[in-house]
Structures are given as structure tokens and as C-alpha cells.
Structure 1
Amino acid sequence: MARWEPGARERLVVAAVDLFTEQGYDDTTVAEIAARAGVTRSTFFRHFTDKREVLVAGQETLSRLLAEGIAQAPEGVGPLDAVAAGLARAADEMGPLNRELGPRLKAAVAASSELQERDALKSVGLAAAMRTALIERGIEDPSAHLAAEIGLLAFKRGYAAWCGQDRRDDDGLAPHMLAALDELRTAATLLR
């Protein structure tokens, strides 16, 4: 096993998602994930505390990117326009591997109540990061909270649409997220 090869974290994520899809989350061990990724168990534990944490690989980075985009939005824009800037910033960092893993990860989560719980916590964390960034821009609650939740829904809908597209399609993730945000913005006007 190659202990110090670059890309170990990424390989661990791919190996885990593959194994979760093939044999189920409960029947997959850390040792199997490490072996599939070509690393040792101790390398696995340098990157993740347990196999459930593989699901949220990159959550901190994603939260940071969303918050940075919101903070960098032009002065004076409304909460949803600031959220759009956050979504675009995060989308710029998501590439082919994210797109490839999306459907398999969704299937693994759907098959495991433990992963569903962890995925729900991830969603809470992403919404909280956006809400905090909006409040730091001077947006009052509940507007910041509502805009963050709409942003989270736009993220999920846009990501699902992007992952479901023809793989030869070179569209990035941002257009899908921004289209989802526009749909939700329109839908919100009908809630009166």
C-alpha cells in the first residue's frame, strides 16, 4: 500500500461511495475502504474520524465558499442576490468528481438511515453558514434565515439537476443552481 501518495482523501471518498453503493453502508468497513483506496487504516483515520464522516468530506470548505461568496456580493444587493453570489462561488469549486459521485452518493444515503441523519446535519451546517454570512452583511433575521434556507434548497435542486444531466454536457454547476434559485424566487412570490 502506498502510504504517502497524493490524493489519498479523494481516493478514500471514491472508495467509500463505491463500497456503500455496492454492498451497503452497514456492511462496509473502514478496512475495506482503506484497502480499496490503496492506503492504510491509519491513513483513513488521519482524514476521517469514522466512515460516516466520508459523507461530509468537504463540508467545511463548502460552507466557507458559500459564506465567502455572500460576503463578496456587491454592496446593497438583497439577501437572495447575496445567496446567488455564494452559490456561484461554491459551484466554481465543484468539478467532474463531484458530478460523478452525486448519483451514487444519493443512492447510498437513501439506503441508510444513519447516512440520512448525517446528510441532514450537513444541510443544517450549510444553511447556518449562509445565514451567518447574511447576518454579517446586516440582513436581519428572519430574512437571513429564510434566504439561507432558500439557498440550501437551490443548492440541492441545482446539484441534482447538474448530476442528472448528460455527462457530455460541459455546463458547470453554477447555471443549474442559479436557475433553481430563480425558480424558488418565483415560487415564493406565489405564497401570499
Structure 2
Amino acid sequence: MARWQPGAAQRLVVAAVDLFTEQGYDATTVTQIAERAGVTKSTFFRHFSDKRELLVAGQETLSRLLAEGIAEAPADATPLRAVAAGLERASSAMGPANRELGPRLRAAVAASTELQERDALKSVGMAEAMTAALVARGIPETTAHLAAELGVLAFKRGYARWSEAGREEAGDLAPHTLTALDELRAASANLG
């Protein structure tokens, strides 16, 4: 078992999602995850405090990228155009490994109440980061919060479509998240 091989955190996430899907979240141990990833149990704990933390791996980076994209949007951008800039920035960091993990991750989350709660907290963190970035641009808080929530929903819908698409049709994530945001903007016009 190689102790200092690069990519341990990513391997741990993939191993955990596979095990959660195969045998369920509750039946999966940290030792099993570490063994499947080819690392020691102590290496697991260097990266994650417990197995629940595997689901939110990368959340801080994702939230940071969303906020940076919003901050860097043109000064005259509407709140949703700024959110689109955040989605585009965050989406650019997602590659084929993220796409292939999507369906397995959704299946694991769907099968575990604890993981569903963790996933909800991840969404809250993304919304908070986008709301703060929009407020920093001078957007009123209520408007910023609504735009951020639409951004979270667009990211989730776009990511789901992207991860379910065939390898040839998938392309990059950004067009999927931006299309989802456009669809949500159009649907909101029908709310009355």
C-alpha cells in the first residue's frame, strides 16, 4: 500500500461512493474505504474527519469558484448574469472524473438520509457563498439570495444532465449549467 501516492483524497472519494453504492452508507467503514482507495486509515483521517465528510469534498473550492466568478462579472451585469459568470467559473474546474462520479454519487445520496442531509448542507454553503458575493456587488440581500438559490438549482440540474449524458454528448459542464439557469429564468417569468 503506497503511503504518499498523489491523489489520495480523490481516490478516497471514489472508493467511498463506490462502496456506498454497493453496500450502503451505514454498512461501509472507514477501513473499507481506505483499503479500496489503496491508502492507510491514517491517510484517510489526514484528508477527512469522518466518512460523512467525503460527500462535501471540494465544497469549499466550489463555493470559492462560484464567488470569484460572481465578483469578476462585469460591473453592469444583472444578478443572474453575475451568477452565470460564477457558474461558468466553477464549471470550468469540473472534468471527466467529476462527470463519471455523478450518477454513482446521486445513487449513494438517494439511499442514505444522512448523506441527503450532508448534500443539503452543501447546497446551503453554495448559496451562502453566491449570496455574499452578490451582496458585495451591491445587490439587495433578498434579490441576491433568490439569484443564488437559482444558481444552486441551475448547478444541480446542469450537473445532473452533464453526468448522465453519453461521453460524446457531454462536452464541458458550463453549457449545461448555463442552459439550466436560462430555463429557470424563463420558468420564473411564469410564476406570476
Q: Which TM class, normalised by the smaller chain length?
A: over 0.9
Give yes or no for the alignment of 1:2 onto 2:18: no
Identity between Structure 1 and Structure 2 (%): 73
Report Cα offsets for 1:57-114 as digits up to 9, x if no partner: 0000000000000000011111000000000000000000100000000000000000
Number of residues of Structure 1 aligned to a counterpart in Structure 2: 192
The separation in 1 between residues aligned to 2:41 and 2:136, in whole angstroms, is: 41
Task: Report if the CA contact (8 A) 2:162-2:170 is conserved.
Answer: no
Tell me the residue number matched to 1:56: 56
For structure 2, the residue ranges without an aligned partner over 5 or more in a row are none
Tell me the residue number matched to 1:33: 33
CA RMSD of aligned residues (A): 0.7
The separation in 1 between residues aligned to 2:50 and 2:170, in whole angstroms, is: 34
For 2:176, the aligned partner's letter is H
Report Cα offsets for 1:114-133 as digits up to 9, x if no partner: 00000000000000000000
Give yes or no for the alignment of 1:45 onto 2:31: no
For 1:14, the aligned partner's letter is V
State how 1:156-175 maps to structure 2 within 5 Å. Answer: 156-175=156-175
For 2:24, the aligned partner's letter is G
For 1:20, the aligned partner's letter is F
The separation in 2 between residues aligned to 1:75 and 1:9, in whole angstroms, is: 37
Once the two structures are TM-superposed, the CA of residue 169 in structure 1 deviates from its matched residue by 2.4
The separation in 2 between residues aligned to 1:142 and 1:24, in whole angstroms, is: 39
When normalised by structure 1's length, the TM-score is 0.99
Tell me the residue number matched to 1:102: 102
Tell me the residue number matched to 1:136: 136
Deviates further, 19-28 or 162-171: 162-171
The separation in 2 between residues aligned to 1:141 and 1:127, in whole angstroms, is: 12
For 1:51, the aligned partner's letter is K
Tell me the residue number matched to 2:178: 178
Report Cα offsets for 1:164-186 as digits up to 9, x if no partner: 11122251000000000000001
Instruction: Give the secondary-structure state (helix, strand or coil) at the position aligned to 1:26.
Output: coil
For 1:110, the aligned partner's letter is A
Tell me the residue number matched to 1:148: 148
When normalised by structure 2's length, the TM-score is 0.99
Tell me the residue number matched to 2:81: 81
Instruction: Give the secondary-structure state (helix, strand or coil) at the position aligned to 2:141.
Output: coil
Tell me the residue number matched to 1:120: 120
Instruction: Give the secondary-structure state (helix, strand or coil) at the position aligned to 2:191.
Output: coil
Query: In structure 2, do the counterparts of structure 1 residues 103 and 170 end up closer, same or farther at CA, with 3 Å as the change threshold?
Result: closer
